[in-house]
Structure 1
Amino acid sequence: MLDNADLGKLIIRLTLGGLLLFHGVSKLLNGIGFIESQLVSHNLPAILAYGVYVGEIIAPLMIILGYQTRIGALIVVFNMIVAIALVHSHQLLSLSSNGGWSLELQGFFLFSALAVIFLGPGRYKLKN
């Protein structure tokens, strides 16, 4: 018999990890020049931009697979806080043209990852 809580955790993990992984693959294919320029504009070393691969490829895979899930989710939380601080801080209290919060996507990634930290991976995961 399926446990609804474990199935719900799996759905959250697959959604969060899967959607974020698309962003990481895009950066693999198109580069991270934008992130490097944002870091430099904030007087930070451009090499830190490579951390986006950890936050948008490795961490989502950890979450999807249920391997060290809470650590992967913590990495995503950190990644999203950095992204909001570097690029989106001016949008924190603004609405988009369709009436939604301008940071809906970033908020989804941040708060879903936070939920995964507290919920854990559930039963459907790789054995640690």
Structure 2
Amino acid sequence: MKKQVNLGLLILRLAVGCLMLLHGIAKLKHGIPGIEGMVESHGLPTFLAYGVYVGEVVAPLLIIVGYKTRLAALVLFFNCIVATSLAHGGQIFSLNETGGWALELLGLYGFGALALFFTGAGSYAVASRGRWD
């Protein structure tokens, strides 16, 4: 793979991973009672809310370092789908006050993760040869 492509994949990994990790750090600091409430309001057991730590802390860390990147990206993408369905379902076809998609940030995280699922980590990663790397 060309150096430019590998550098691009590194930049994508760092952007998606670091920016989502900030959301996870906030949840580590402040807890997840709001998420537990959303999960419960949809008739699901509240322990499922703890999955947010996997999707917003563990998966981004793996993406950043480039270990099991495809698997971590799939987890992050799933996390974005769950977040959309639990918290933003009514905004899927909405625009914000400046004309952008109401879910553009969540969309960028999700579709960035989906791109990493299909491309893998590239050469600038802890692991780049396994099935899930």
TM normalised by structure 2 equals 0.93
Can you list the C-alpha shifts for 1:75-103, whole angstroms capped at 9, x where unaligned? 00110110101110100010111111100
Is 1:32 aligned to residue 32 of structure 2?
yes
Measure the CA separation in 2 of the matches of 1:45 and 1:97: 35
* Structure 1 ranges of 4+ moved more than 4 A: none
Identity %: 52
Measure the CA separation in 2 of the matches of 1:23 and 1:97: 23
- 1:82 corresponds in structure 2 to 82
Segments of structure 1 that go 5 or more residues without pairing to the other structure are none
Please show how residues 1-128 of structure 1 align to structure 2 within 5 Å: 3-127=3-127
Aligned residues: 127
Segments of structure 2 that go 5 or more residues without pairing to the other structure are none
Task: After TM superposition, give the deviation of residue 27 of structure 1 in Å.
Answer: 0.2
Measure the CA separation in 2 of the matches of 1:94 and 1:61: 31
RMSD: 1.0
Measure the CA separation in 2 of the matches of 1:20 and 1:70: 16
Give the aligned residue type for 1:74: L
Measure the CA separation in 2 of the matches of 1:39 and 1:120: 31
- Aligned partner of residue 12 in structure 2, secondary structure: helix
Measure the CA separation in 2 of the matches of 1:59 and 1:23: 12
